[in-house]
A and B are shown apart, each in its own frame.
Chain A
């Protein structure tokens, strides 16, 4: 560790504008490239969700939404939100920006690979969007892409669309691997003097563990993508048994559709936590900073992140209770799934206990963090229904599932993302956003999303299935459901429109916002202690900072200010500081 931290040789220095902002190897620029691209595609996915809601709220009113379009929207929306928005934004965006600054490094350890990671990610996005224009359109197989239907007639995009999707995912995995190796190596090798692992802010812990998980989980998706392409193009039979599709035999024999599901969820479940853990880490930091209080139970929080990360590789088949796999697996996977709830619950308790006896400043980033607590408690608890095997039987593939996962891995991480953007915006841009717009954005987004997703749970209880273009005449579904759907669509429209406030605020403030204080929240972690705001290339000027304490020295008794920066040396005999390892 010491070798890199002490290395004072100058970094590669870009000389041209292009070298600085386009083919940049600076982690901060790459982070912004990642972030802007991810938010751009996320906006597209949001538009798709609104189109779906239009169809569900006002079925048949919009001619341009046919069943095949609906399924294409569902698929693209789900895949973009999970992979191309949240994974890319939390790891490629926040991971890139925060890791070097929070651990006191000048940059990632492999800046060139880091740059390649972004460009491969961009390529994967381009391929994904090119898939919209191929014959037959994009795939409509659902974001889970289960064969045989994704590659057989009767599903939109079964010939070209699915190939583009799989190719794009493959490229994404390559991009992620380059980024992920960087994040892991940087955390392990480039921490500055004094920055022990147990002094790192939770944001870094979350991103670090999520990156390791990604490196282990994405290969399963990669092989599944390649095998699907082979089944479709070359006629192998990994996933497809002998079938009659649309009256004709396809020529496959002996493949196993369930094998794909195992591969997919071996990736897909950890993927949920790849998104969740960075959000957990970031929200821990937001809560601690704005409550002016040390993170309660830091060591437990770190261990909970590690344990959740590890256990999440042993629960994947809870997505497959009714898939036709050997039903006896249900006992094991239900137990492992509910066991994961324990470290997760501990995290929730510790967030609450961090607030307890705090000095809570309800600034905008904190509001988002609090909203996260609410939606995450909600989504975490409904997960127990679905994890509890037999309870999952009536609920699986209904709108209860849609409500659950939007709450837990849609709304919750997005709230954290907003909170994080508001929180670090002054550091990243050197400017402050507009408070009133930000508050308005917060309230509409928070209350609006709850209005969207709470009723969905109840529709699911009733038995309304997901991925249905229209409910048609169904006796057990009363007319009132139709009004619920209309209401949900209206709420979705409001939330959709409110995002305009966010974009306007971010862009306007970039040029017109007041100059920001280098450390407006009085935060103790290193990224706020840079000599320049925004930080310059190389981050730290002449000398790397030395770290003397953990990242959570807030309101230390006897200290003059209510926070002590990590790089502030202890007073001569009485070293303040939290638990150390």
Chain B
């Protein structure tokens, strides 16, 4: 008997927990309201099923509990009932799948006017790259990575010279502009996750992955790594600063481009480096030869 009561009370407790607990989605700060909608529709349908099925269970346990003289009803099957249940279940499933797929369609369709920025991951920090004046990210690959070229920029690619490189775990985004975030990892899997944006995607070494979103509220949001990447996984944090266009541009203007970085290194080397290092043509190779 206790079990019927317990099931009913657990349903009640779950509802109360849902209503009263302080833990729920972080306030949204991106365009992904459609994901939240799909989630809420799913929650509603599932909650109805949860409450309905379990209350039916509790009632059944109470009503048909064993009492002396009771005998169970003999009914091997009831095809009509089973068909009807199947039908309504399919309706419920379709009801949550539809908004889910619609939101997913949006998620995989990057708007043509989205700005492109790149987030790179390595154990256990973030780096960011902006395409610069030409609006195009230069090519980059792990083969070019060395101490002086942490982003693995292709030294021969002219598009890369004006790319803005940020190594401080801090990403700035302009408010209200759709942005395609392309993701690259230098070592293992990572995942770019900002709870307020709802969006996330793995960084996979060897390939370039992406997702897109539009920040809709200015402020500072935390970036978490959401794919196990070793002992520092829980410390692989960053921040996104969403700000208006003017502030964003001011900030961007203060950052170094790849070209400027190369020039600066060249200068340092000019002061203390050898002739040989300066003579070597490709910048990446030179940097490597020069060392630090």
Contact = CB atoms under 8 A, between A and B. Distances in A.
Interface residues of B, number: 104
A388 to B, nearest CB: 4
Contact of B3 (A140, A335, A370, A476): A370
Interface in B66-100: 66, 70-78, 81-82, 85-86, 89-90, 93, 96-97, 100
Contacts of B103: 389-391
A381 B49 contact: yes
Which among B183, B193, B202 has the greatest number of chain A C-beta atoms within 10 A?
A: B202
Given A244-B145, A359-B64, A481-B23, A388 B96 contact: yes
A467 B228 contact: yes
Contact of B143 (A242, A350, A454): A242
B77 A298 contact: yes
B153 interface: no
A9 B24 CA distance: 66
Contact of B204 (A323, A327, A382, A395): A323
A388 B142 contact: no
Nearest to B123: A154
Interface in B42-73: 42-43, 45-46, 49-50, 53-54, 56-57, 60-61, 64-66, 70-73
Which among B17, B75, B100 has the greatest number of chain A C-beta atoms within 10 A?
A: B100
Contacts of A327: 104, 107-108
Nearest to B107: A390
A71 B204 contact: no
A513 interface: no
B131 to A, nearest CB: 21
A251 B250 CA distance: 41
A472 B205 contact: no
Contact of A244 (B25, B57, B187, B224): B187
Contacts of A469: 231, 233-234
Contacts of A433: none
A255 B25 contact: no
A355 B185 CA distance: 54
Given A327-B108, A370-B61, A382 B46 contact: yes
Contacts of B49: 377, 381
A459 to B, nearest CB: 6
B35 A474 contact: no
B212 to A, nearest CB: 11
Contact of B234 (A254, A352, A470): A470
A232 to B, nearest CB: 14
Given A331-B101, A355-B64, A377-B54, A152 B188 contact: yes
Interface in A235-272: 240-247, 249, 254-258
A349 B52 CA distance: 11
A338 B66 contact: no
Which among A292, A475, A476 has the greatest number of chain B C-beta atoms within 10 A?
A: A476
B231 to A, nearest CB: 5
Interface in B156-214: 183, 185-189, 191, 193, 195-196, 198-207, 209
A149 B228 contact: yes
Contacts of A398: 226
Nearest to A335: B97
A524 to B, nearest CB: 13
A342 B46 contact: no
Contacts of B22: 478, 480
B115 interface: no
Contacts of B24: 458, 461-462
A387 B106 CA distance: 17
A155 B22 CA distance: 35
A219 interface: no
A578 interface: yes
Contact of A242 (B10, B74, B142): B142
Interface in B235-266: 235, 237
B204 to A, nearest CB: 4
A515 interface: no
A8 interface: no
Interface stretch (A110-118, A207-215, A533-541, A551-559): A551-559
A244 B204 contact: no
A339 interface: yes
Nearest to A147: B188
B46 A385 contact: yes
Contacts of B225: 465
Given A346-B89, A454-B14, A555-B72, 4 more contacts: A394-B35, A446-B6, A484-B23, A579-B77
24 contacts: A71-B230, A141-B228, A142-B228, A154-B123, A155-B231, A241-B142, A243-B185, A243-B205, A244-B122, A244-B187, A296-B76, A298-B76, A353-B78, A359-B71, A374-B7, A385-B39, A390-B101, A390-B106, A391-B35, A450-B10, A463-B25, A465-B234, A468-B234, A562-B72
Closest 6 CB pairs of A and B: A241-B206, A463-B195, A154-B230, A390-B103, A324-B209, A149-B188
